[in-house]
Amino acid sequence: MYAMISLEAVSALNQLLQVVCRSLPMYLADARPWVRPGHQPLQAALERLVADRRRYAQRVAEAVTALGGRPDPGRFSSRFAAKNDLSLEFLLPEVIESQEEDLVQIDGCLPALDGEPALHALAEEIRGNVRGHLDLLREAARASP
Protein backbone atom coordinates (compact mmCIF):
# COMPACT_ATOMS: atom_id res chain seq x y z
CA MET A 1 0.00 0.00 0.00
CA TYR A 2 2.74 2.50 0.92
CA ALA A 3 4.58 1.85 -2.35
CA MET A 4 1.38 2.61 -4.27
CA ILE A 5 0.88 5.84 -2.33
CA SER A 6 4.52 6.77 -2.95
CA LEU A 7 4.23 6.15 -6.69
CA GLU A 8 1.11 8.28 -6.83
CA ALA A 9 2.82 10.96 -4.73
CA VAL A 10 5.93 10.91 -6.93
CA SER A 11 3.79 11.32 -10.02
CA ALA A 12 1.85 14.21 -8.47
CA LEU A 13 5.06 15.84 -7.26
CA ASN A 14 6.59 15.59 -10.72
CA GLN A 15 3.47 17.24 -12.14
CA LEU A 16 3.88 19.94 -9.52
CA LEU A 17 7.56 20.26 -10.41
CA GLN A 18 6.63 20.81 -14.04
CA VAL A 19 4.18 23.54 -13.05
CA VAL A 20 6.82 25.22 -10.92
CA CYS A 21 9.71 24.87 -13.39
CA ARG A 22 8.17 25.20 -16.83
CA SER A 23 5.68 28.02 -16.54
CA LEU A 24 5.68 31.13 -18.69
CA PRO A 25 7.26 33.26 -15.94
CA MET A 26 10.16 30.79 -15.69
CA TYR A 27 10.62 30.91 -19.46
CA LEU A 28 10.62 34.70 -19.41
CA ALA A 29 13.32 34.70 -16.74
CA ASP A 30 15.67 33.28 -19.37
CA ALA A 31 14.17 35.02 -22.42
CA ARG A 32 14.47 38.42 -20.68
CA PRO A 33 11.65 40.40 -22.36
CA TRP A 34 12.34 44.06 -22.77
CA VAL A 35 10.95 46.46 -20.23
CA ARG A 36 9.88 49.99 -21.04
CA PRO A 37 10.96 52.80 -18.72
CA GLY A 38 8.52 53.03 -15.84
CA HIS A 39 7.80 49.30 -15.82
CA GLN A 40 10.66 48.23 -13.54
CA PRO A 41 8.22 47.39 -10.71
CA LEU A 42 6.62 44.84 -13.03
CA GLN A 43 10.02 43.37 -13.80
CA ALA A 44 10.81 43.22 -10.07
CA ALA A 45 7.50 41.40 -9.43
CA LEU A 46 8.38 38.83 -12.08
CA GLU A 47 11.86 38.39 -10.61
CA ARG A 48 10.39 37.73 -7.14
CA LEU A 49 7.95 35.21 -8.62
CA VAL A 50 10.80 33.40 -10.39
CA ALA A 51 12.95 33.37 -7.25
CA ASP A 52 10.11 31.78 -5.29
CA ARG A 53 9.52 29.21 -8.02
CA ARG A 54 13.19 28.24 -8.02
CA ARG A 55 13.11 27.68 -4.25
CA TYR A 56 9.97 25.59 -4.53
CA ALA A 57 11.42 23.59 -7.43
CA GLN A 58 14.32 22.60 -5.18
CA ARG A 59 12.00 21.54 -2.38
CA VAL A 60 9.72 19.52 -4.68
CA ALA A 61 12.69 17.83 -6.37
CA GLU A 62 14.07 16.89 -2.94
CA ALA A 63 10.69 15.43 -1.97
CA VAL A 64 10.59 13.32 -5.15
CA THR A 65 14.08 12.03 -4.42
CA ALA A 66 13.19 11.28 -0.78
CA LEU A 67 10.34 9.07 -2.04
CA GLY A 68 12.75 7.18 -4.27
CA GLY A 69 11.66 8.88 -7.48
CA ARG A 70 13.53 10.79 -10.13
CA PRO A 71 12.66 14.49 -10.45
CA ASP A 72 11.33 15.32 -13.92
CA PRO A 73 10.89 19.05 -14.49
CA GLY A 74 9.75 18.52 -18.08
CA ARG A 75 10.26 20.95 -20.94
CA PHE A 76 9.02 24.38 -21.78
CA SER A 77 6.11 24.61 -24.17
CA SER A 78 7.24 25.32 -27.72
CA ARG A 79 4.57 28.04 -27.89
CA PHE A 80 6.68 30.14 -25.52
CA ALA A 81 9.34 30.69 -28.22
CA ALA A 82 6.98 33.05 -30.04
CA LYS A 83 7.18 35.40 -27.06
CA ASN A 84 10.91 36.09 -27.22
CA ASP A 85 10.72 39.57 -28.78
CA LEU A 86 7.76 40.93 -26.85
CA SER A 87 7.71 43.41 -24.01
CA LEU A 88 6.94 42.36 -20.47
CA GLU A 89 4.08 44.86 -20.41
CA PHE A 90 2.53 43.22 -23.49
CA LEU A 91 3.01 39.75 -21.99
CA LEU A 92 1.50 40.61 -18.61
CA PRO A 93 -2.02 39.36 -19.44
CA GLU A 94 -0.53 36.04 -20.60
CA VAL A 95 1.59 35.78 -17.45
CA ILE A 96 -1.55 36.35 -15.36
CA GLU A 97 -3.44 33.73 -17.36
CA SER A 98 -0.57 31.26 -16.94
CA GLN A 99 -0.67 31.79 -13.16
CA GLU A 100 -4.40 31.02 -13.21
CA GLU A 101 -3.72 27.83 -15.20
CA ASP A 102 -0.99 26.88 -12.74
CA LEU A 103 -3.50 27.10 -9.88
CA VAL A 104 -5.78 24.65 -11.69
CA GLN A 105 -2.89 22.25 -12.29
CA ILE A 106 -1.79 22.47 -8.66
CA ASP A 107 -5.34 21.74 -7.55
CA GLY A 108 -5.19 18.62 -9.72
CA CYS A 109 -2.09 17.40 -7.86
CA LEU A 110 -3.51 17.82 -4.36
CA PRO A 111 -5.75 14.72 -4.14
CA ALA A 112 -2.81 12.41 -4.88
CA LEU A 113 -0.95 13.92 -1.92
CA ASP A 114 -3.77 13.49 0.62
CA GLY A 115 -2.00 10.46 2.13
CA GLU A 116 1.22 12.42 2.61
CA PRO A 117 0.46 15.36 4.96
CA ALA A 118 3.87 17.05 4.63
CA LEU A 119 3.77 16.84 0.83
CA HIS A 120 0.17 18.03 0.73
CA ALA A 121 1.18 20.99 2.91
CA LEU A 122 4.06 21.77 0.51
CA ALA A 123 1.68 21.75 -2.47
CA GLU A 124 -0.76 23.97 -0.55
CA GLU A 125 2.09 26.35 0.29
CA ILE A 126 3.05 26.54 -3.37
CA ARG A 127 -0.58 27.14 -4.29
CA GLY A 128 -0.76 30.00 -1.81
CA ASN A 129 2.43 31.48 -3.21
CA VAL A 130 1.12 31.29 -6.77
CA ARG A 131 -2.12 32.93 -5.63
CA GLY A 132 -0.16 35.71 -3.90
CA HIS A 133 1.93 36.41 -6.99
CA LEU A 134 -1.20 36.35 -9.14
CA ASP A 135 -2.75 39.02 -6.94
CA LEU A 136 0.40 41.15 -7.20
CA LEU A 137 0.50 40.77 -10.99
CA ARG A 138 -3.14 41.79 -11.28
CA GLU A 139 -2.40 44.83 -9.16
CA ALA A 140 0.61 45.65 -11.36
CA ALA A 141 -1.60 45.36 -14.45
CA ARG A 142 -4.08 47.84 -13.00
CA ALA A 143 -1.30 50.27 -12.02
CA SER A 144 0.60 49.95 -15.30
CA PRO A 145 1.18 53.36 -16.92
pLDDT at residue 50 is higher than 50: yes
Q: State phi, psi for 87 to the nearest 5 degrees.
A: -80, 155
3 — pLDDT class (breaks 50, 70, 90): very low
CATH number of the domain within which 46 lies: 1.20.1260.10
Q: What is the average pLDDT value for the chain, to the nearest integer?
A: 92
- Residue 5, pLDDT > 90, answer no
Count of domains forming the chain: 1
Percent of the chain with pLDDT over 70: 95
Rg (CA), the chain: 16
**Domain containing 103: what range?**
2-143
What is the spatial distance between Cα 70 and Cα 1, in angstroms, rounded to a whole number? 20
pLDDT-derived band at 65, boundaries 50, 70, 90: very high
